[in-house]
């Protein structure tokens, strides 16, 4: 039978609940238990797909094409498991489904209410995810902070779920903050006590407390927390600020958190196999070399907007015991080509990531031209690949004025065009080409060598594509179209094999990189960057 762990947060937002949930997931996995993690987000959007990256950070795409919260990326990276649509549910989706049922007459004339109809729908989403994956442990993270009006139906649903499933089958982990007052030299426990009181007022007594803190928790404070919050002393866990998020599972393990959870849930304790994770962390903490990689995009003020790209670069570095420093370049600063030299002269590689809209495009084209002309290792992702094709068309293939129809309604040479299947699409949510699709790589190409195979599957999120009418002309000029969809209709990878590393792809490899299994395209970029250094 599946055991449930509900993770809530209090005192402040941005406590890193997602990392804590993901770390606990890692600890189950290292005990050979299967685990899934599900995120409930209290906002009204059906999914984060329509939200600006400035608002919400990256949109993480799953194999089954769900546009999800960036925490799903942490879940997948820490547990090395691929999740899907059932793993991320918003209030918007819950209400939409309840309202659809009401319109269909499913409620047989009843008055439709938050309790029981919304809470039942929430509980059915928990059960649906359990049914799909049949895990040993099912972790459910509730977004937001305890006390928020928005998250109340979720909290009420977990209260019901916990009592229905019975003692010993579900526990709550509450994450809080212990602020440090330098004047008195103390970690303060009162906000955590209050936060637990709020949770209790909703009928939920947490079994475990995870406290974010910048200092170790002294024995007296730990005892105070245990006493006032009614949790066992060994269930007060400290989560210190750490250099790398990948240290968190080890820090939680050192305090016995997973064993406490396993005991509370009546499961069999097993010896964790953490050797490879420990050696990963030791490589992260003791890098032998360092390199600097530029990311030239438009959401550079918020690094969460490209979190999977940043993580993938770091993962590729770990494999070579190299630390990767990111240099953020606002592509608008490169609209003047002469700025590229000064901005890119101190980096060993450059990534042009995905994005939407015309702002900053000319700057991205200049960055790519600079990388191509100076043999600076380059990786283009989605929009980054479309820009690589436009740049090559304009500056090498003689197609002056080439552009994407996304940026110019009527370009002289529309080398990037809306995909056929997108032409009649109306509305924005969930309507792109989304999720995993196969791609066939050209034998002997840089991409095929990097992957070590010719048939790959990668995740997508786009509306536009290379216009096939121009492929011959552009490839005659030297750009190799080394990856195509199985039917040969959609260009998926382009490369310049004569340069050290110049590869761009229509898909998003960053969603499949793992800390201990770097993605081949990022590995290729970082290897080339290290060689250059």
CB of 90 to ligand GLN, least distance (A): 21
Q: Which residue is nearest to ligand GLN (CB)?
A: 354
With CB under 6 A as the contact rule, the residue among 383, 434, 505, 528 that binds ligand GLN is: 383
CA angle, 126 then 200 then 20, to 5°: 55
Sheet order of strands, 491-495 included: 322-330, 289-297, 349-352, 378-381, 502-505, 491-495, 480-484, 433-441, 455-462
Residue 14 CB, nearest distance to ligand GLN (Å)? 25
- Identity of the residue, 112 or 425, whose beta carbon is nearer to ligand GLN in the bound complex: 425
Instruction: Give the DSSP letter string of 464-500.
Output: EEE-GGGHHHHHHTT-EEEEE-TTS-SEEEEE-TTSS
229, 382, 387, 439: which one is catalytic?
382
Kindly tell me which of 184 and 424 has the beta carbon lying closer to ligand GLN.
424
Decide if residue 461 touches ligand GLN (CB under 6 A): yes
With CB under 6 A as the contact rule, the residue among 354, 380, 520, 524 that binds ligand GLN is 354
Q: Active-site residue 508, yes or no?
A: yes
Considering only the stretches 27-35, 165-173, 330-338, 354-362, report the one whose residues sit in contact with ligand GLN under the rule CB under 6 A. Answer: 354-362
Is 79 or 312 the residue whose CB approaches ligand GLN more closely? 312
Q: Is residue 459 at the binding interface for ligand GLN, with CB under 6 A as the rule?
A: no
- The residue range among 165-173, 194-202, 352-360, 488-496 that interacts with ligand GLN, by the rule CB under 6 A, is 352-360
Q: Is 41 exposed, middle or buried (0-12, 13-18, 19+ CB in 10 A)?
A: buried
Residue 142 in contact with ligand GLN, rule: CB under 6 A: no
Residues contacting ligand GLN: total by CB under 6 A: 10
Active-site annotation holds for 510: yes
The one among 406, 458, 492, 495 contacting ligand GLN by CB under 6 A? 406
Q: Quick check: 463 binds ligand GLN (CB under 6 A)? A: yes
Please pick, among 258, 362, 510, 519, the residue that the annotation labels catalytic: 510
By CB under 6 A, residue 364 contacts ligand GLN: no
How far apart are CB 355 and ligand GLN at their closest, in Å? 5
Min dist CB 86 to ligand GLN, Å, is: 23
Question: In angstroms, rounded to a whole number, what is the distance separating the alpha carbons of residues 438 and 449?
Answer: 17
- List the 137-142 sheet strands across, edge first: 88-90, 35-41, 137-142, 3-9, 170-177, 208-213, 236-240
290-298, 309-317, 324-332, 461-469 -> range binding ligand GLN (CB under 6 A):
461-469
Q: Which of 499, 507, 519 is CA-nearest to residue 369?
A: 499
Dmax over CA atoms of the chain, in Å, equals 75
How far separated are the first and last CA of the chain, in Å rounded? Answer: 53
* Residue labelled with tokens 């969930």: 430
Q: 3-class DSSP state for residue 210?
A: strand
Considering the complex, what minimum distance in angstroms separates the CB of residue 433 from ligand GLN?
8
E runs forming strands in 42-168: 60-61, 67-68, 88-90, 137-142
Q: Any residues with CB less than 8 A from the CB of 513 and at least 6 apart, and which?
A: 77, 308, 311, 312, 315, 316, 519, 522
Binds ligand GLN by CB under 6 A, chosen from 464, 481, 501, 502: 464
Distance CA 300, CA 280 (A): 28
Q: Please count the residues of the chain.
A: 533
User: How is residue 61 annotated by DSSP?
Assistant: E
Residue from the set 31, 462, 519, 523 that interacts with ligand GLN by CB under 6 A: 462
- For residue 291, the SS3 value is strand
> Which range binds ligand GLN by CB under 6 A, 207-215, 309-317, 351-359, 423-431?
351-359
Nearer to ligand GLN, 94 or 383 (CB): 383
Catalytic residues: 382, 508, 510
Residues in contact with ligand GLN by CB under 6 A are: 354-356, 382-383, 406, 461-464
């Amino acid at each position: 039978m599946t055991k449930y762990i509900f993770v809530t947060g209090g005192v402040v937002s941005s406590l890193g609940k997602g990392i804590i949930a993901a770390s606990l997931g890692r600890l189950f996995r290292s005990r050979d238990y299967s685990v899934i993690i599900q995120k409930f987000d209290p906002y009204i959007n059906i999914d984060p797909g329509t939200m600006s990256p400035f608002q919400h950070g990256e949109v993480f795409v799953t194999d089954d094409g769900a546009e999800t919260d960036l925490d799903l990326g942490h879940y997948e990276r820490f547990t090395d498991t691929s999740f899907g649509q059932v793993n991320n549910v918003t209030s918007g989706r819950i209400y939409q489904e309840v309202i659809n049922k009401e319109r269909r007459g499913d409620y047989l004339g009843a008055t439709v209410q938050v309790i029981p109809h919304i809470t039942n729908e929430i509980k059915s989403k928990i059960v649906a995810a359990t049914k799909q994956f049949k895990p040993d442990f099912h972790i459910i993270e509730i977004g937001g902070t305890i006390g928020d009006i928005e998250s109340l139906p979720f909290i009420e649903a977990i209260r019901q779920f916990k009592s229905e499933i019975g003692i010993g089958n579900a526990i709550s982990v509450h994450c809080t903050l212990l602020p440090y007052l330098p004047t008195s030299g103390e970690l303060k426990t009162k906000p955590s006590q209050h936060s637990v009181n709020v949770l209790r007022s909703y009928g939920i007594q947490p079994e475990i407390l995870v406290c974010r803190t910048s200092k170790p928790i002294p024995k007296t404070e730990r005892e105070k927390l245990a006493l006032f919050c009614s949790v066992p002393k060994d269930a007060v866990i400290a989560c210190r600020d750490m250099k790398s998020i990948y240290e968190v599972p080890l820090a939680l393990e050192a305090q016995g958190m997973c064993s406490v959870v396993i005991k509370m849930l009546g499961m069999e304790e097993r010896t964790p196999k953490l050797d490879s994770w420990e050696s990963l962390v030791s490589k992260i903490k003791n890098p032998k070399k360092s390199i600097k990689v530029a990311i030239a995009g438009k959401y550079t003020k918020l690094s969460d907007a490209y979190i999977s790209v940043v993580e993938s670069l770091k993962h590729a570095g770990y494999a070579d015991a190299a630390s990767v420093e990111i240099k953020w370049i606002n592509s608008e600063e490169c609209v003047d080509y002469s700025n590229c030299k000064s901005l890119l002269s101190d980096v060993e590689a450059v990534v042009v990531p995905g994005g939407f809209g015309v702002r900053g495009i000319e700057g991205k084209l200049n960055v790519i031209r600079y990388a191509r002309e100076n043999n600076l290792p380059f990786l283009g992702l989605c929009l980054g690949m479309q820009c690589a094709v436009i740049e090559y068309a304009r500056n090498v293939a003689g197609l002056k004025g080439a552009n994407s129809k996304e940026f110019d309604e009527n370009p002289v040479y529309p080398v990037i065009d809306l995909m056929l299947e997108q032409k009649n699409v109306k509305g924005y949510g969930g309507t792109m080409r989304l999720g995993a699709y196969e791609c066939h790589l050209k034998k002997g190409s840089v991409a095929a060598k990097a992957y070590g195979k010719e048939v790959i599957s990668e995740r997508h999120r786009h509306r536009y594509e290379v216009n096939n009418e121009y492929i011959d002309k552009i490839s005659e000029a030297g750009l190799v179209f080394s990856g195509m969809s199985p039917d040969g209709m959609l260009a998926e990878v382009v490369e310049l094999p004569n340069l050290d590393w110049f590869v761009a792809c229509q898909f998003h490899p960053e969603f499949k990189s793992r800390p201990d299994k770097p993605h081949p395209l990022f590995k290729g970029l970082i290897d080339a960057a290290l060689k250059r250094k």
